């Protein structure tokens, strides 16, 4: 067996769907107990503020970026979002207009959201995005290859894209709504991490159902097991349909309960969102706020 098959065979992560749901239910019941000003701030500063619209343009992305700049001066008591996430062709636009420190430039690349294009095109897309200023790259795992059991091609592609991204963080999107079962999500998580992913991410939010707490629990369990085996910390990102403060708090609870406080920082925990930023900001300020 190769290292991937060995890792899959050796994993002890629970992958019975009913059992996973039962574990998640226990954590969700505890989630409200974690609510505090400090946790809301952490959640806000873990957001990849995202615009992925057919209508995006240089001018609209520039305005989007300016709102992040304005946040620093309008809300100096709060820490800003973790990153601005855009299509790969807008990396340079964000870089040109982003004036505040500590906010990363993230892009979706590599045939997003289906991962259906030539590998050479994916490589070029990632390379051009990084040259334009991206320091985080979100790609989609080739789900067709996964479902066919062609793990060699799948993992070789992720490794090549990671090497193309160089120092940029590589987030691998598993598209958990397509994978459906805990067993598939477990396998995909392991394959992505052993292919040098810096983060594993739930969903694109474009084609299939987005993030689920059950998927998050399995992914975090895989991250924990991988860390115990290799000593390397891989981050977790929830994306697709996380819109309310209460939902974000439930993902916080999953990460805290499974991975612990070491993972509760923007280097290892992200939420991809657009409307969520306003929701959490409203919770933080105590009034309805539509800043972004």
The whole-angstrom separation of Cα 158 and Cα 97 is 30
Of 287, 270, 204, 241, nearest to 44 by C-alpha is 270
- Residue among 171, 186, 187, 237 flagged as catalytic: 237
Backbone angles phi, psi at 212, to 5 degrees: -135, 150
Structural tokens at position 25? 């239910």
The whole-angstrom separation of Cα 34 and Cα 193 is 29
**Residue 237 annotated to the active site:** yes
Query: Exposed, middle or buried by CB within 10 Å (0-12, 13-18, 19+), for 286?
Result: exposed
Backbone angles phi, psi at 290, to 5 degrees: -125, 65
Cβ(155)–Cβ(127) below 8 Å:
no
**Residue 201 annotated to the active site:** yes
Query: Exposed, middle or buried by CB within 10 Å (0-12, 13-18, 19+), for 49?
Result: buried
- Residue among 48, 104, 138, 198 flagged as catalytic: 138
Return the bridge partners of 191, or none. Answer: none
Cα 272 to Cα 52, 166, 226, 277, distances in angstroms: 11, 22, 23, 10
Residues with active-site annotation:
138, 201, 237
């Amino acid at each position: 067996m190769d290292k991937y098959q060995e890792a899959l065979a050796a994993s002890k992560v629970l992958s019975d769907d009913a059992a996973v749901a039962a574990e998640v239910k226990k954590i969700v019941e505890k989630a409200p107990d974690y609510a505090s000003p400090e946790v809301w701030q952490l959640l806000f500063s873990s957001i990849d503020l995202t615009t992925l619209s057919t209508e995006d343009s240089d001018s609209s992305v520039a305005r989007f970026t300016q709102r992040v700049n304005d946040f620093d001066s309008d809300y100096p008591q709060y820490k800003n979002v973790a990153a601005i996430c855009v299509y790969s062709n807008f990396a340079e636009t964000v870089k040109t207009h982003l004036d505040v420190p500590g906010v990363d430039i993230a892009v979706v690349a590599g045939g997003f959201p289906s991962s259906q294009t030539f590998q050479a095109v994916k490589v070029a897309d990632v390379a051009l995005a990084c040259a334009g200023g991206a320091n985080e790259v979100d790609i989609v795992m080739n789900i067709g290859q996964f479902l066919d059991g062609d793990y060699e091609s799948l993992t070789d592609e992720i490794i090549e894209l990671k090497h193309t991204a160089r120092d940029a963080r590589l987030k691998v999107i598993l598209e958990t709504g397509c994978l459906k079962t805990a067993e598939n999500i477990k396998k995909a998580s392991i394959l992505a991490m052993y292919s040098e992913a810096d983060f594993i991410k739930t969903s694109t939010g474009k084609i299939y159902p987005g993030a689920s707490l059950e998927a998050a629990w399995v992914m975090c369990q895989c991250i924990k097991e991988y860390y115990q085996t290799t000593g390397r910390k891989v981050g977790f990102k929830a994306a697709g349909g996380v819109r309310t403060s209460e939902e974000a708090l439930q993902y916080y609870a999953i990460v805290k309960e499974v991975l612990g406080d070491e993972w509760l920082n923007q280097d290892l925990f992200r939420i991809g969102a657009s409307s969520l930023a306003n929701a959490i900001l409203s919770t933080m300020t105590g009034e309805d706020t539509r800043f972004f």
